[in-house]
Amino acid sequence: MNKKIIGIAIFVAIIAAALIYQFTGSGSSPKEILLNGLIGGEKKGFLEDEDVKSILKEKYGVVIDYSKAGSIEMVKGNTQGRDFLWPSSQVALEIFKTTKAKHLVKSGLIFNSPIVLYSWSIVTDALIKAGIVKKVAASYFVVDFPKLINLVMEGKKWSDIGLTDLYGKISIISTDPNKSNSGNMFAGLLANILYGDVVDESSVEKYLPKLKTFFSHLGYMESSSGNLFEQYLTTGVGAKPIIVGYESQAIEFSIQNEELWPKVKDRIRILYPVPTVWSAHPLIVLNPKANILIKALQDKEIQKIAWEKHGFRTGLIGVDNDPKLLKVVGIPERIKKVIPMPKAQVMEKIMQALQN
């Protein structure tokens, strides 16, 4: 009788252990992995998200210690002691492969975000009257980008398009192309627009002087896309009539500033250049222990948070991004008119010209 009871007890214990394993895995949390890296400033809010931090730690054991840096700066600078880099463009990855290939362990695409222009209602209305911007449904598109660029290159004033309250010449303010990705991508897009197609190493030469003229008129340029977007919001239309940024920035701002957003949403305008360029966000692994970070950041739950709370479009095939889930009006479901960025060697030429 005692043997029978003991046998039943053992059987029950085995079943209980199996159930515990089924629902909790091995019954213990993953071993903690502390990873140190550099990230583009536009991803700071995402990595500070408590839901993201929780999933990374509880599901993958990953804890991230990061510092902000411009995408171009990070791939060209000192990477000693870093486990990963997370720039904001494929061009940055290609530059890294060209200059520091031996340090590359692995790379993977995490997010995408189109380059956009941020402006204000009064500026956008003037650009619509000038035939440069067109409103389609709730979205605004820069349908005559060459015309806008020509206004800048010709030194036209805001008053020439009816904006007598704005001082000075028409400009499109970007970050420093030699330090920050949004400025770098805008320089590549600008070269393509001037040429009328994707520039190569020979065709770009003709347009380098024009690019130098365009950016020299901007004066001091921020080294971080996040800093420029903050300046745009805090200094307003007088100081920052049009800036270059990422689509994700307005989406994230609307979530993180729920009280302020209703006060500014009717004045802010997101303008989609036609064509625009995609800003990819590849993760560059420098230490094998950081390989897990690619898998973790591609987790579907994390990708969902990235879109709905931070505005990053997914880098995964088969995952949709529904604009109806966002607070921001005018985000198109798909970005259809896109031109490729120039190759990394061409961008190096552009950066060198702008630096000099």
> What would the mean pLDDT of 22-47 be, rounded to a whole number?
81
Domain assignments of the chain as residue spans, ordered by start? 11-16+24-111+282-324, 114-278+334-355
* Confidence tier at 6 by pLDDT (50, 70, 90): low
* Confidence tier at 8 by pLDDT (50, 70, 90): low
Distance of alpha carbon 20 from alpha carbon 26, whole angstroms: 8
pLDDT value at residue 205: 97
Q: Is the peptide bond before 241 cis (omega within 30 degrees of 0)?
A: no
For the domain made up of 114-278+334-355, the CATH class stated in words is alpha beta
pLDDT value at residue 23: 42
Residue 21 confidence (pLDDT) above 50: no
Whether residue 114 contacts residue 321, with contact meaning beta carbons closer than 8 Å, is answered with: no
Residue 10 confidence (pLDDT) above 60: no
> What would the mean pLDDT of 294-313 be, rounded to a whole number?
95
Residues in the chain: 356
Contacts of 14 (CB under 8 A, 6+ apart): none
Q: Give me the helices (H) in the chain, please.
A: 2-24, 44-48, 50-60, 71-76, 90-100, 121-129, 145-153, 181-195, 208-216, 225-239, 247-256, 261-264, 291-297, 300-310, 344-355
Q: Which long-range contacts (CB under 8 A, 24 or more apart) does 199-205 make?
A: 199/342, 199/346, 200/342, 200/343, 200/346, 201/343, 201/345, 201/346, 201/349, 204/342, 204/346, 204/349, 204/350, 205/349
Distance of alpha carbon 247 from alpha carbon 252, whole angstroms: 9
pLDDT value at residue 263: 87
Residue 131 confidence (pLDDT) above 80: yes
* Confidence tier at 20 by pLDDT (50, 70, 90): very low
Residue 9 confidence (pLDDT) above 90: no
List the one residue out of 246, 234, 227 whose CA is nearest residue 328: 246
* Confidence tier at 175 by pLDDT (50, 70, 90): very high
> What would the mean pLDDT of 22-50 be, rounded to a whole number?
83
Q: What percent of the chain has pLDDT over 70?
A: 92
CA angle 305, 309, 311 (to 5 degrees): 95
Distance of alpha carbon 312 from alpha carbon 166, whole angstroms: 33
Q: Specify the pairing of strand 84-86 against strand 33-39.
A: parallel
List the one residue out of 273, 248, 225 whose CA is nearest residue 113: 248
pLDDT value at residue 139: 94
Residue 191 confidence (pLDDT) above 90: yes
Distance of alpha carbon 197 from alpha carbon 135, whole angstroms: 25
pLDDT tens figures, 242-292: 999 999 999 999 988 988 899 899 999 999 999 999 999 999 999 999 999
Sequential DSSP letters for 262-320: HHHTTTEEEEEESSB-EEEEEEEESSGGGHHHHHHHT-HHHHHHHHHHH-PEE-STT--
pLDDT tens figures, 99-126: 999 999 999 999 999 999 999 999 999 9
Q: How is domain 11-16+24-111+282-324 classified at the CATH fold level? A: D-Maltodextrin-Binding Protein; domain 2 (3.40.190)
pLDDT tens figures, 152-164: 999 999 999 999 9
CB atoms under 10 Å from CB of 246, counted, come to 28
pLDDT value at residue 29: 77
Q: Tell me if domain 11-16+24-111+282-324 and domain 114-278+334-355 are identical in fold.
A: yes
